[in-house]
Amino acid sequence: MITSLLVANRGEIACRIFRTCRELGIRTVAVHSDADENALHARVADTTVRLPGAAPTETYLRGDLIVKAAVASGADAVHPGYGFLSENADFARAVIDAGLVWIGPPPEAIEAMASKTRAKQLMGIPSLDRDRVTESDLPVLVKAAAGGGGRGMRIVRRLADLDGALEGARAEAASAFGDGEVFVESYVEGGRHVEVQVLADTHGTVWALGTRDCSLQRRHQKVIEEAPAPGLSSELRDELHALAVRAARAVDYVGAGTVEFLVSSAGSAHFLEMNTRLQVEHPVTEAVFGLDLVAGQIRVAEGHALESDPPRARGHAVEARLYAEDPSADWAPQTGTLHRLTVPDDVRLDTGYGDGDGIGVHYDPMLAKVIAHAPTRAEAVRRLSGALERATIHGPVTNRDLLVRSLRHKEFTGAGMDTGFYDRHLAELTEPAPDPYAPLAAALADAQTRVSRFGGYRNLPAQPQLKRYATAGEEQEVRYRHTRAGLEADGVRVVRATSGLVVLEVDGVQRKFEVTRYGDQVYVGATALTALPRFPDPTTQHAPGTLLAPMPGTVVKIADGLAPGAAVQAGQPLLWLEAMKMQHKITAPVTGTLTALHAACGAQVEVGALLAVVEVSQEDQ
């Protein structure tokens, strides 16, 4: 009987596992890096153990330190969560050898399926010989043999790009998983990403817990998932279930796992991999089947038998991953303080952050998962999109607007999506649409916080007050006046104005604006604004060829031969930053001559740091 469990992970998944442990009466142990010392998962655990350092390779990928932490803390079981060491057979063996219960499949099953190349061999599916790829094989997908989460993956459409894709995928995979092995497979255009959840016990029972569709992806990482996968024929669904059970039985699988497929537009299934761990998107399966997969993992690890048949599925569930990132800026990760995160009570929120927590550069930028369940798909989608729209998210830029628009896009509501959804629709889904009255509401609320004890009106003609705000990449000016009757503005009637609530009447319709301010950051409903000084600071202006770091991170590579005096073209890759477990290409902002290079490999840079300067060519001025 498990009485104390250590989670070899962090953030959202650690918090989620701890929740089930509390319900089962199991004591919880967290490990944390120095960067996560005050993280939510460390705060809610009964016991915490420090892993010195910040980078994953120093901390959450150090299986030896985690096993020592489990023994030292008195834990009798280890749950790996997802990512990090969750599919590392050596780590599983080390846990078992230390006399601890491993909440996962046998190491032999992990070895058989953790490498995608070996999994394909086991399933009888050949990979392409990367040294013999020809034009006729294109497009192909370069993919990390280990790990997941979209890291170490590249689509190649031109043969000339293959070597670069292999190199980039190797580097990203080695950084994320400690294993730089990659392979090449055919890329299915217009395919859907469909997977089957399995749960197996030590007595020979394997459950196939329905399908999930995870086709909406950015950088090969899932964004929106749902269960069951819509629009599958009963024959295809049965085939996928049978293949998933066959894969589990082939390796004597135990615990929760997921078998993933690409389903072509013609309805044929192509095996991708088996993930020998809990998936990020497991809550949609839990909602539909009315069970707790983490509790199932623990009971199976304790030797309990599953019922002969799984519970019946009911309704439909949809999950959206809320990321601290800017989809309109090549999905650039964002950092800073998450001042507040709340969602309506009719949806489930799984998160690893609390109000006031900092979002750093070392780990994945996912803030939370929001899950809605309803009797039908249409109702679940509507509930989730409405909840996200009404959510309070004060902090760094997020993908919230993208999620809402995606859920309401006709291609998604009609279940016609595939893995190319964002390739086709990203521009329209990220088109700025700021509320035109948000800056005025912010100004009026600010005016109320600055009113003297004698009031804002003076016995002089009312002079217009000017405020400037930045929103959606644009600056806006608004004007208002203090009068005997209160605050006034052209084109609207100010019904009410306090420091936290402004009510405006426009063409006979009253609109309410909740306003919250954190320094210069102002949130008016779902619109984020930055209060600007009345007169711009000339010292903050930069020349057109100045290249600033778009995010905090580590410089991991500089283009070959790049040095001051080199001629560069606009859009030419100059260097690469690693932030939040992903590599980001930084390109020349203009065509010209590189006159300064301030970046160096291995250097840590903050957002806005000067990386390089390109002097614009005369003909381009």
User: Of 154, 159, 161, which Cα lies nearest the Cα of 133?
Assistant: 159
* Residue 369 one-letter amino acid: K
- Whole-angstrom CA distances from 226 to 193, 243, 315, 377 are 11, 20, 11, 9
User: Of 337, 364, 314, which Cα lies nearest the Cα of 82?
Assistant: 364
Specify the 3-state DSSP secondary structure of 574. strand
Q: Can 517 be counted among the known catalytic residues?
A: no
Structural element, H or E, at residue 282: helix 282-289
CA–CA separation, 426 and 402 (whole Å):
8
- Whole-angstrom CA distances from 497 to 40, 459, 492, 503 are 36, 21, 13, 6
Query: What angle (nearest 5°) sits at the alpha carbon of residue 413, between those of residues 408 and 418?
Result: 105
CA–CA separation, 12 and 338 (whole Å):
15
Specify the 3-state DSSP secondary structure of 283. helix
Whether residue 248 contacts residue 256, with contact meaning beta carbons closer than 8 Å, is answered with no
β pairing state of 465-471 and 340-342: unpaired
497-506: string of b/e by CB count within 10 Å (b at 16+)? bebeebbbee
| 456 Ramachandran zone, left/alpha/beta (phi>0; psi -120 to 50) | alpha
Specify the 3-state DSSP secondary structure of 185. strand
CA–CA separation, 119 and 258 (whole Å):
13
CA–CA separation, 608 and 571 (whole Å):
19
Specify the DSSP class assigned to residue 159. G
CA–CA separation, 15 and 40 (whole Å):
7
Q: Which of 62, 151, 154, 277 is flagged as catalytic?
A: 277
User: Of 451, 453, 515, 457, which Cα lies nearest the Cα of 486?
Assistant: 457
The residues carrying an active-site annotation are 277
